[in-house]
Chain A
Amino acid sequence: MKVIKLITGFCIFCSSAFAQDDGNLMNQLENNSNKTVYTTATFKSTRIIHGHSVENIGKGVLDVRILHRFAPLNTGIYNFFGLDQASMRMGFDYGITKNIMVGIGHSTWQKTYDALIKVKILRQSTGAINMPVTLSWVSTFATRTDLARRDTSGDRIKISFGDRTSFAHQLLIGRKFSERFSLQLMPTFVHHHNKQDSINTYTQDKDNIKAGLKRKNTVALGIGGRLKISKRVSINAEYYYQLPDAKPDIYFNSLAVGVDIETGGHVFQLHLTNSNGMTEKSFITDTDDKWTRGYIRFGFNLSRVFNIGKH
């Protein structure tokens, strides 16, 4: 009796396994090809607002970036709410591979030259490889060349290259939680070589205070995120908290909120911020006003990509 049952069972198995309809076969084929699906477009741009996002530009892609930060809105109608005074950074980023990008730039503020390298270490993925976050490393170098400074008695101060130069290193940990929402944490280390700290170029009285300041290292933690409100528009926010022990009272934490608008090869990033600088060292450690005092600046980043490399 058992044997008959077995045979019947086997027959049923045979007919269902072999004489399966094409739909089942299709499913089988699809399920067998269990591939790793990498998350793309955690952010629209390589920058959240001021700082880097986990995104890299593609291999052989040149990203031309024109950044502006205007004077604070509370400078009033005479200053056209800040728009009369613009601070600019022009930058060129290039993708060496899909995981390594380098860039150079120049900012009007403190006549700074900067360079960067960003390396993607892990990619968020599902499927065969399951990875909850994207991990990137970015190091930036900045050196200021505004040498024509005078001390309180009016004499020129000559500062050596080493003293004008600073480095910032960041680990970027980003996760795309859903199609709309992405979040990123940025533990940051800034090394200031300049013994005399930066001078804010437009407030004379602060110069004197800052001239006596000495800072060597700053540790900060950044948090940034984006919320997509349509296919091509997202709202972004970014905040950098500096650990208080290395932060002089005259500096504040950088907070920015903005909108990304993407059209084809362009990304427009419009934002409000209390930071003037556009290099990591500048906006993370040299933000010299705060939102609550009304020192809010309008700014924008323009990005245009060109495919120049071979594939």
Chain B
Amino acid sequence: MKKIIILVLILCSVYVNCTAQVFFTKNGMISFFSSAPIENIKADNNQVISIINTTTGEIQFSLLINAFHFKKSLMEEHFNENYMESKKYPKATFKGKIVDLSKVNFKTDGTYPVTVAGDLTIHGITNKITSTGTISVTGGVISVSSKFRVKLSDYKIDIPKIVKDNIAKVVEVTVSCSYDKKNN
């Protein structure tokens, strides 16, 4: 009977090894940049959670809005309180797929330009987006980077007239994550 149990265990682990090619990170980096006539605003979030499934091409990101850090503390407060309403909508997420997964060889070092499409949820609003980015593999470590633009009005983030020269209508989002293999 013991033999059977061991066999089952081995089978299970083999099964796992060949199916779940999942890589993850808990300290990915996402920043945004707003360029407006009066001032430029930049904020960084280096606690981004992300997973990438190299078999299916699924890619997901999740971050806490209040983990974005600004140079000016009052700006950070206003960002959470007045614009993003982070108490009401604490997270921003992206769930998508690498459209051209076949172009990427995760086993060979290199830099692969890819296109990713999926649902981006910010401020409680979900929109379908498509963006380009790169996946680089160096010594088995997978890194992802991308730059795309987010129009604030698409996510019902209101900019009052009085600060219209301080905050851009479209902000540039930069993604930079490097992944660890999920150990089973």
Q: Which residues of chain A have a CB within 8 Å of any CB of chain B?
A: 3, 6-7, 10-11, 14-15, 18-20, 22-23, 25-26, 29-30, 32-33, 35, 37, 40-41, 57-59, 61, 98, 179, 231-232, 262-265, 305, 307, 311
| Complex contacts, A26 vs chain B, CB 8 Å | 49, 51, 60, 62
Check B162 against A40 for contact (C-beta < 8 Å): no
Chain A, interface SS category: mixed
Check A231 against B82 for contact (C-beta < 8 Å): yes
| Complex contacts, B49 vs chain A, CB 8 Å | 26, 29-30, 33
Q: Chain B residue with minimal CB distance to A232?
A: B82
Docked Cα-Cα span, A311 to B76, in Å, equals 14
Chain B, interface SS category: mixed
User: Among the listed stretches B67-75, B127-135, B137-145, B170-178, which one makes contact with chain A, having 4 or more residues with CB under 8 Å of it?
Assistant: B67-75
Q: Which residues of chain B have a CB within 8 Å of any CB of chain A?
A: 1, 4-5, 8-9, 12-13, 15-16, 19-20, 22, 24, 26, 47, 49, 51, 53, 56, 58, 60, 62, 64, 66, 71-74, 77-78, 80-82, 85, 87-88, 160, 162-163, 166, 182, 184
Docked Cα-Cα span, A98 to B74, in Å, equals 11
CB of B135 to closest CB in A, whole Å: 17
- CB contact under 8 A between A7 and B60, given known A15-B12, A18-B184, A25-B182: no
CB of A164 to closest CB in B, whole Å: 36
23 example contacts (A-B, Cβ-Cβ < 8 A) are as follows: A6-B5, A7-B4, A10-B9, A10-B12, A11-B8, A18-B12, A19-B16, A19-B20, A22-B60, A23-B60, A25-B22, A25-B182, A26-B49, A29-B26, A29-B49, A30-B49, A30-B62, A40-B80, A58-B72, A179-B87, A231-B82, A232-B82, A264-B78
Q: A3-B1, A10-B9, A263-B163 are in contact. List 13 more A-B contacts (CB 8 A).
A: A6-B5, A11-B12, A14-B15, A25-B182, A29-B49, A33-B26, A33-B49, A35-B64, A41-B81, A231-B81, A264-B162, A264-B163, A307-B72
